[in-house]
Amino acid sequence: MVDLTPEAFRTLGYQVVDLLANQMATLPDGPCRRPVPDEVRDALLEQPLPLEPQASTDILERFTQLVLPYPMGNAHQRCFAGVNSPPAPLAVLADLLASGMNPSVAGGDHAATYVEHAVLRWLTQLLKYPIDSGGLFTSGGSVANLIGLAIMRHVKATTNTRANGLWAEATPLVVYTSAQGHSCIEKAVELLGIGHTYLRKIPVDAEYCMDVEKLRTHIHADRTQGLRPVCVAASAGTVNTGAIDPLNAIADICAAEDLWFHVDGAYGGVGILAEQTTDLFNGMERADSLAIDPHKWMYVPIECGCVFVRDAQAMRDTFSLIPPYLRDDTQMPWFAEFGIQQTRSFRALKVWMLLQQLGEQGYRELISRDITLAHYLQERIRTTPNFELIATGPLSIICFRYAPLGCNDLDTLNRRLLERVQQEGHTFFTSTELDGKLVLRVCIVNFRTTEADLDFLLEYLAKVGLHIRKEVL
Amino acid sequence: MVDLTPEAFRTLGYQVVDLLANQMATLPDGPCRRPVPDEVRDALLEQPLPLEPQASTDILERFTQLVLPYPMGNAHQRCFAGVNSPPAPLAVLADLLASGMNPSVAGGDHAATYVEHAVLRWLTQLLKYPIDSGGLFTSGGSVANLIGLAIMRHVKATTNTRANGLWAEATPLVVYTSAQGHSCIEKAVELLGIGHTYLRKIPVDAEYCMDVEKLRTHIHADRTQGLRPVCVAASAGTVNTGAIDPLNAIADICAAEDLWFHVDGAYGGVGILAEQTTDLFNGMERADSLAIDPHKWMYVPIECGCVFVRDAQAMRDTFSLIPPYLRDDTQMPWFAEFGIQQTRSFRALKVWMLLQQLGEQGYRELISRDITLAHYLQERIRTTPNFELIATGPLSIICFRYAPLGCNDLDTLNRRLLERVQQEGHTFFTSTELDGKLVLRVCIVNFRTTEADLDFLLEYLAKVGLHIRKEVL
């Protein structure tokens, strides 16, 4: 009953492929996203624990009715919410193959292990990061950044924290990020027992990049107070605006002050591939640890994060439960020795396949294209009446507002506008807060988006805005 | 190029389904596992970063040649290595649908959110755990256990560790597990900054269960030394032997001593569903936090772990970055507020589908069947000359040795035996260490395994053993 004959699997598999193919066919003309109707939500939430076995076809039918029509929506050409790209169709099928083979890539002699090693090397080459660094696929950026900071703690502590915890450490360690750094840095600092009191959120400049003079000032002030500055976690593409901190200047400070240089490039790190922005990533190669998320801007399905650590030995020393004197250097070490997970899925396969389908060249073109589209939208916003451009990051995120003259409460106006847009489903995006203002945030990480979609976006917002404006004012 | 037309996706999707269907058809008569030939390993490891785009069919062909024939092997009916079950075919297709829809289940109003809520409730019902507990799908047991212990630290510390780290905590916290507890408990204790010096590995009894008298003694000794005992991490099914710690007795001690009661049921927790073993899980419902891994013994593909926490509010308070005064209680909280990840895949879908396909009843039968098979093998080992049963856990793991009379070096003999077995590929399993001895370890978490496979296993081992024995002696 739990098993299927190969023939039954084939039949059901074709049905599942058809469901997704049909979804792809109707996607462009359908809504970007449908709010879940109350009765569907209740049917899902309240379905009792199934007691008796049910036929696969009935289950697929229920899925088709209740689940498939209500995705989060990032496959649609006018989904601009967040920095998770739509998945390339081949990468979706790679996930099927990974689940079908079902290896645990903890390590050992099987194909998935070698594929992961190869893909990690390819990524270091693309990112211009040292080829002999330690690397690991993770569930996403939160864990990739956590692993980077865990290794930092292991290296920078004055005592053996794996053995003794932080109890024997005389002085609190201090970590620096920018006020626009991702919240997962704060989560990591908390989980590691450092505490967010010892995470300094350095103010940003007008471009939302870390102010390195203020960073220097904070480091010296902390030393004066008897604390131990140990790490700067810079952003190579914030998720709010795509701002890239001045990496070389921060690397210089880290070198001068003996701090660990971590770069969170979860969203933006692959911007190094685009000719327009590649120079902004100078200095990223100096990072002690680097997080990037292929599921953000490399067009593979969720989940796929990645962390690289310059000192592979430090990475292993932080996590391996095999004592150094028992390590067999004639064998490849297990991935489980380099991170938190033991059982690990075959995330590398989708990146392996997609990197072959696109080639380095294809990736460069796609990333570059998204940035060109973002610049196009920025320019349209600048020249369209009643819109105000708030942030012009160099990558593919645009923050703006609907700002008709005479409106005193732009936050309320834009919040209502966004609610209406999200309800109607012709396009989908969210808001963020910048300098205390609510702003609309559009992210372009989508190979299906065209200039026409961006033209539609602005024209549609202008039309809805006019309507809402009458209601609000 | 990166996108496919619906028709091209359908064609390629059918090919991929065919690959897996053919794999299923040839599986039973093929080897359990093929060592990766040197030239295949080198081809994978040394393939240069692709520069030019390649055709999908070529990529699939390379996958078919180099990757698919060399899985880790747990789909085969005679794979007894580790406690990752083969994936049910429907659950494999569920992963395809999850990747195709590609939601991030951080939270929000889309179908995947509601499916995850429903499945978490179903699991609490199956596990007899409080239905209003907090719950979260994770990458696996390591992160599930880490989350449980992170919440423990948050609750048990005398200061606000999220803000102040462990620096202001006057007394080291002490965690207890058994000498047979999983290594991920040690990793978690290290990552949380507690340090493994403050993890006590309590000796086990003859059944490899935690000795509760010794637990009590250690707790009192630690208090006398001025340390702060805060948590017992019990095992509900160790991965070495399937031993279940005396949960009610430990829960009593935790209640009396004001300790957090964590249960690692990653592999064995679902043993509560089998009539033979359900009583051994009495007390699991008293746990403050509980980890189980559907990818271990619930027949879904890797990755799928799960953590439940009795006090959902404490779970949220440990991880949420939304201050309590800003939480909107009319909305469902986001899953990202209950754990480490922000972007989260739709892991719940495969459990949702499989629980409907099997029903509670089907799951009970399958788990029970695995246990019956394990008892059958134990009995066969007991009555077969030259074999020695080392551990008889109540669940589905059997530890034994090939132990012909007159052999003085059983460790070497069994290591050689295992090497030969792994090389030949008719069956696959690994070894572990118990009481300083190398023992063979067979795990039965496989709906394809029959008594005939176990008969084959013993007869084959006897035959190979006779051969090896001549070489070794």
Q: How far is CA A86 from CA A76, A298, A302, A445, in A?
A: 8, 9, 9, 8
Residues of B with Cβ-Cβ distance to A146 under 8 angstroms: 340
Contact B112 A194 (CB under 8 A): no
Contact B96 A92 (CB under 8 A): yes
Q: Give the tens place of pLDDT for each residue, A106-152.
A: 999 999 999 999 999 999 999 999 999 999 999 999 999 999 999 99
* % residues pLDDT > 70 (chain A): 100
Residue B22 Cα, gap to closest chain A Cα (Å): 7
Contact A193 B161 (CB under 8 A): yes
- In this complex, which of A95, A196, A361 lies closest to B52 when CB atoms are compared? A361
Report how many Cβ contacts below 8 Å link chain A to chain B: 480
* Per-residue pLDDT, A473: 60
Average pLDDT over residues A227-231: 98
User: Among all residues of chain A, which has the CA nearest to that of B68?
Assistant: A101
Contact A89 B53 (CB under 8 A): no
Contact B17 A14 (CB under 8 A): yes
Average pLDDT over residues B250-269: 98
Q: How many residues does chain B have?
A: 473
Average pLDDT over residues B27-48: 95
- B100 and A20 Cβ atoms separated by less than 8 Å: yes
Residues of B with Cβ-Cβ distance to A293 under 8 angstroms: 343
- In this complex, which of B92, B184, B343 lies closest to A342 when CB atoms are compared? B184
Q: Give the tens place of pLDDT for each residue, B366-414.
A: 999 999 999 999 999 999 999 999 998 899 999 999 999 989 899 999 9
Residue A390 Cα, gap to closest chain B Cα (Å): 25
Q: Give the tens place of pLDDT for each residue, B184-241.
A: 999 999 999 999 999 999 999 999 999 999 999 999 999 999 999 999 999 999 999 9
Average pLDDT over residues B139-150: 98
- In this complex, which of B51, B56, B114 lies closest to A359 when CB atoms are compared? B51
CA dihedral A110, A113, A115, A120 (to 10 degrees): -170
- The pLDDT-based confidence of B465 (bands split at 50, 70, 90) is very high
Contact B59 A299 (CB under 8 A): no
* % residues pLDDT > 90 (chain A): 93
Q: Give the tens place of pLDDT for each residue, A57-89.
A: 999 999 999 999 999 878 999 999 999 999 999
Residues of B with Cβ-Cβ distance to A19 under 8 angstroms: 97, 100
Q: Give the tens place of pLDDT for each residue, B433-442.
A: 999 999 999 9
A307 touches chain B (CB under 8 A): no
A200 touches chain B (CB under 8 A): no
Q: Give the tens place of pLDDT for each residue, B318-356.
A: 999 987 877 777 888 999 999 999 999 999 999 999 999
Q: Which CATH number fits domain B95-355: 1.10.3720.10, 3.40.50.10540, 3.30.565.10, 3.40.640.10?
A: 3.40.640.10
Interface test mutation site (partner A, options B68, B83, B97, B446, max chain A beta carbons within 10 A) = B97
pLDDT at B33 exceeding the cut of 80:
yes
Window 433-452 of A, Cβ < 8 Å to B: 447-448
A331 touches chain B (CB under 8 A): no
- The pLDDT-based confidence of A325 (bands split at 50, 70, 90) is confident
- B356 and A54 Cβ atoms separated by less than 8 Å: yes
User: Among all residues of chain A, which has the CA nearest to that of B154?
Assistant: A191
A317 touches chain B (CB under 8 A): no
* Per-residue pLDDT, B469: 86
pLDDT at A469 exceeding the cut of 90:
no
- The pLDDT-based confidence of B20 (bands split at 50, 70, 90) is very high
Q: For the whole prediction, is pTM greater than 0.90?
A: yes
* Per-residue pLDDT, A158: 97
A342 touches chain B (CB under 8 A): yes
pLDDT at A443 exceeding the cut of 70:
yes
- The pLDDT-based confidence of A329 (bands split at 50, 70, 90) is confident
Residue B458 Cα, gap to closest chain A Cα (Å): 25
Window 381-410 of B, Cβ < 8 Å to A: none
Average pLDDT over residues B11-22: 98
Q: Give the tens place of pLDDT for each residue, A272-288.
A: 999 999 999 999 999 99
Contact B97 A302 (CB under 8 A): no
Write out the two tokens for A174.
């201090």
Average pLDDT over residues A440-469: 96
User: Among all residues of chain A, which has the CA nearest to that of B346?
Assistant: A302
**Where in chain A are the domains?**
95-355
Rounded Cα distance, A442 and A457, in Å: 10
* % residues pLDDT > 70 (chain B): 100
- The pLDDT-based confidence of B473 (bands split at 50, 70, 90) is low
Contact B110 A72 (CB under 8 A): yes
Q: Give the tens place of pLDDT for each residue, A160-214.
A: 999 999 999 999 999 999 999 999 999 999 999 999 999 999 999 999 999 999 9
Contact B2 A184 (CB under 8 A): no
- In this complex, which of B1, B35, B122 lies closest to A358 when CB atoms are compared? B1
Contact A343 B303 (CB under 8 A): yes
